Amino acid sequence: MLLQKEREDVVKYCRKMITAGLTKGTGGNISILSRERGLMAVSPSGIDYFETAADDVVVMDLNGEIIDGKRKPSSEYELHRIFYVRRDDIAAGVHTHSVYS
């Protein structure tokens, strides 16, 4: 599976985002960049994080094109993409919908 470790980590940290109370339901999104490949693993849209598997995570290039994955990426993928394109010191992004913010 393309970007297997990154996809597994996206699932792991999406679940931690829920258990830590940083978001509820399917809110928020996470991405992890493989800069050497120029690809990012992005959490899928509209799927409960505790039902999400690594192969549900979408792999996209830095032009916003889907490279691998059967799901729709988070609607916020563009936010993650822009940071990766403009900043070479960023390798992951977490966007929460915090209850108390």
Q: Is 78 a catalytic residue?
A: no
How many Cα atoms sit within 13 Å of 13 on the Cβ side? 20
| Helices and strands: H and E segment counts in the chain | 2, 5
Q: Which residues contact 12 (CB under 8 A, 6 or more apart)?
A: none
Q: Active-site residue among 6, 65, 76, 78? A: 76
| Active site amino acids | 76
